[in-house]
Structure 1
Amino acid sequence: MNNNTPLEDLNVLSEERLMTPAELKKMVPLSETGMETVANGRRTIKNILERTDPRLFLVVGPCSIHDTEAAIDYAKRLKVLAEEVSDTLYLVMRVYFEKPRTTVGWKGLINDPHLNNSFNISEGLTTGRKLLTELADMGIPTSTEALDPVSPQYLQDLISWSAIGARTTESQTHREMASGLSSAIGFKNGTDGGLGVALNALHSVSTPHRFLGINHEGEVSVIHTRGNKHAHIVLRGGNKGSNYDAQSVAECEAALEKAGHEANIMIDCSHANSDKDHNRQRNVMQDVARQIVDGNDSIIGFMVESNIGEGNQKLTDNPADLKYGVSITDACVDWETTEAMVRELRDQVKEILPQRKTQQEKRKVA
């Protein structure tokens, strides 16, 4: 054998140095106002999960962010609506920068901010952080999907709630990462609709872990975590159909109790629960609202895919041709429908929420 035969990086074309998390945070700092927005958002969601705050929280916004101007436009509308319903609902803007792909496709603003396969990740991280700081200064709490195990060091100080998606709930890497996140986090049930992987994830994420990662200076480090005590399950349906109905929710409650977890359940109105028809999100929310009125006390929130314009559009070779405020990933309900859905939910549950049992009261009964 030739001793000069290369053994490493056989399929690596090149490498480029990325700025460290500390460098990006120095370039795009978080203001005191923004810090208070994030801290208050995290505190409010944790209080809802612990039932010291009787409200529901809604993660609502575009399937993915590809246009920061439209994102700010959406946020301004959401802020007005959030203030209107704040006695009953706590609205958190969905700001997703990373998209998991079954095969290939646009991976999100961080990976490809110019939507043209140029993959300027450094610019994507900078653009994403600038948007999140602007939203925080506006008083908008934000949520995202924690997908890449490195990016949280760059952006998670700006996030009030995080999600682990159906494709990655089973991933040990993502469970370990989530155990160190500072926000509450929702684990979606698996793509098959089963609860097992999410229940296992809740157990895993609540315990300490040690794993390889990077620190704020970009150095490879062994990360030691204390465990995230504010993780919960998100029902999003699966290959076998929806799981937002009363029977499915009751089965989830029983499974959570058997596994020793708090009965905190979030309903994703989109994905398999809406049979991938964005217009059915409204029906899902109405059905679940009736469950709450009928006495359910485990449902603590909703996810809704919403944008300025309805539906979605395909990404073309010329991003300038895209319609303003319309998703380039999953189809979304438009802003007018979003307002109607949120107001309907508020009107349906505002009288019943203060009467729901707290976790402590449920334990006493048990």
Structure 2
Amino acid sequence: MSHPDKTNLATPDIENVNIVDFDPMPSPEEIHARVPLSAQASRTVMQGREALRNILDRKDHRLFIVVGPCSIHDPVAGLDYARRLKALGDELGDTLLPIMRVYFEKPRTTTGWKGYINDPDMDDSFHIGKGMENARAFLRDVAELGLPAATEALDPISPQYLGDLIAWTAIGARTTESQTHREMSSGLSTPVGFKNGTNGDVGIAVNAILSASRPHSFLGINGEGKTAVVRTSGNPYGHLVLRGGDGRPNYDTVSVRIAEQALTKAKLPANIVVDCSHANSYKNHELQPLVMADIVNQIRFGNQSLVGVMIESNIVAGNQPIPNDLASLKYGCSVTDACVDWDTTEKMLRETAAQLRDVLPNRTRQS
């Protein structure tokens, strides 16, 4: 009886069944070499981080403001915005610490544009290497203006490429519960704000702060782009960001007090940031000034835990769909969540500074 030639038998695929290709990606060291950190940019980042740590430690009485576009898609308009914010920050710097919101990665519930890193040409071509290099160049340019930057850490590999240019990091509502992001946060060099869950659950963020404060060991990459076991010492500057949930706000005095109690029970500092956007404004950008005004009033009437706010802001109000012809994009207008315009932003920050200038220095130091 003859046996079939086993070399001719079809072998079912075992791995990478749904992988189309593995495109090479420049290593973090290569991207750093192409877009090096200048001395001025380094000073901006270090000073921004120190100021934020001092605010969280109650050594600096100022309120920090993470403000800027929902996402960056046009670096020219982004730098235009940055220059305006830098000038305003210089004027109000005795009371407020503006940190520019520079978001390159957008989490998606289903589909949609995933951000400037993933798809810098906004045409589903996904030139991620180009996007990463361009993103680093933009952050460097912002830092060289003397303006610190904030971002959301979504992809756990991105901080190796961009982390030296970031002063404050957010972990979003969709990823606060993720063990991967808690581990990553434990090694980040910045203070990290953890948002409550999309359902409004503050306990998820409290657990994340605790987890990130501990040492971890996990898989990642090193500067050469090689797989490595990353070992961290823990991040002592995690704090809570209230962004509402289940379509309802949670910045009111009762919600803030409940959040304070949850932090105290976990033996964590009562450091709370309020995101004026998302569910806190019912996803209506025009309501963000009202949220901000409420936070200011809470501080004026004695609140001790509110240390920062987040605002989605751009040059032009609202948002726009991404057109087939990118030349028809409206300058300075968001392509993701709707934002308040620059004039509104300026008014919000000026009014906040005016109302808090004599209040913040007299706040009671937290124990």
The answer to whether TM tops 0.5 is yes
SS of the aligned residue for 1:337 comes to helix
Q: 1:320: how far off?
A: 1.4
Map residues 324-363 of structure 1 onto 2, 5 A cutoff: 324-359=331-366, 363=367
Work out the number of aligned pairs and report it: 360
Give the equivalent residue in structure 2 for 1:304: 311
Which letter does structure 2 place at the counterpart of 1:27? Answer: R
- Partners of 2:219 and 2:45 in 1: how far apart? 27
- Partners of 1:4 and 1:238 in 2: how far apart? 49
Which letter does structure 1 place at the counterpart of 2:75? Answer: T
- Partners of 1:288 and 1:135 in 2: how far apart? 28
When the two chains are superposed, the root-mean-square deviation of aligned CA atoms in Å is 0.9
Q: Contact 2:243–2:275 (CA<8 Å) still a contact in 1?
A: yes
Matched, 1:86 2:93: yes
Larger Rg: 2
Give the equivalent residue in structure 1 for 2:46: 39
Which letter does structure 2 place at the counterpart of 1:230? Answer: Y
Q: 1:318: how far off?
A: 1.6
Q: 1:13: how far off?
A: 0.4
Map residues 220-259 of structure 1 onto 2, 5 A cutoff: 220-259=227-266
Q: Contact 2:314–2:339 (CA<8 Å) still a contact in 1?
A: yes
Out of 265, 269, 275, which is 1:268 matched to? Answer: 275
Q: 1:240: how far off?
A: 4.9
Matched, 1:130 2:166: no
Which letter does structure 2 place at the counterpart of 1:160? Answer: A
Which letter does structure 2 place at the counterpart of 1:304? Answer: I
- Partners of 2:293 and 2:13 in 1: how far apart? 61
- Partners of 2:46 and 2:275 in 1: how far apart? 24
Matched, 1:149 2:152: no
Q: Contact 2:247–2:282 (CA<8 Å) still a contact in 1?
A: no
Q: Percent identity?
A: 55
- Partners of 1:240 and 1:343 in 2: how far apart? 29
Q: 1:4: how far off?
A: 2.2
Matched, 1:48 2:37: no
- Partners of 2:262 and 2:239 in 1: how far apart? 13
Residue 240 and residue 108 in structure 1: after superposition, are their counterparts in 2 closer, same or farther (change >3 A)? closer
- Partners of 1:218 and 1:188 in 2: how far apart? 30
Out of 267, 285, 292, which is 2:292 matched to? Answer: 285
Q: Contact 2:69–2:339 (CA<8 Å) still a contact in 1?
A: yes
SS of the aligned residue for 1:348 comes to helix
Matched, 1:8 2:15: yes
Which letter does structure 1 place at the counterpart of 2:323? Answer: T
Q: Contact 2:176–2:208 (CA<8 Å) still a contact in 1?
A: yes
Give the equivalent residue in structure 1 for 2:123: 116
CA-to-aligned-CA distance 1:198-249 (integer Å, 9 cap, x gap): 0110110000000000000000000000000001000000005100011110
CA-to-aligned-CA distance 1:120-155 (integer Å, 9 cap, x gap): 000000100011111111101000000001111000
SS of the aligned residue for 2:73 comes to coil
Structure 1: 5+ residue runs without aligned partners? Answer: none
Give the equivalent residue in structure 2 for 1:214: 221
Q: 1:3: how far off?
A: 6.7
Which letter does structure 1 place at the counterpart of 2:166? Answer: I
Q: Contact 2:240–2:272 (CA<8 Å) still a contact in 1?
A: yes
SS of the aligned residue for 2:132 comes to helix
Which letter does structure 2 place at the counterpart of 1:138? Answer: L
CA-to-aligned-CA distance 1:74-119 (integer Å, 9 cap, x gap): 0110011001110000000000000000000000000000000000
Matched, 1:161 2:168: yes
SS of the aligned residue for 2:187 comes to coil
Q: Contact 2:195–2:243 (CA<8 Å) still a contact in 1?
A: yes
- Partners of 1:296 and 1:258 in 2: how far apart? 18
SS of the aligned residue for 1:201 comes to helix
SS of the aligned residue for 2:17 comes to coil
Out of 36, 59, 65, which is 2:66 matched to? Answer: 59
CA-to-aligned-CA distance 1:267-317 (integer Å, 9 cap, x gap): 000000000000100000001100000000100000000000000001121
Bigger shift: 346-355 or 113-122? Answer: 346-355
Structure 2: 5+ residue runs without aligned partners? Answer: 1-5
Which letter does structure 2 place at the counterpart of 1:336? Answer: D
Which letter does structure 2 place at the counterpart of 1:299? Answer: L
Which letter does structure 1 place at the counterpart of 2:280? Answer: N
User: What is the TM-score normalised by the length of structure 1?
Assistant: 0.97
Which letter does structure 2 place at the counterpart of 1:94? Answer: R
Which letter does structure 1 place at the counterpart of 2:338? Answer: A
SS of the aligned residue for 2:16 comes to coil
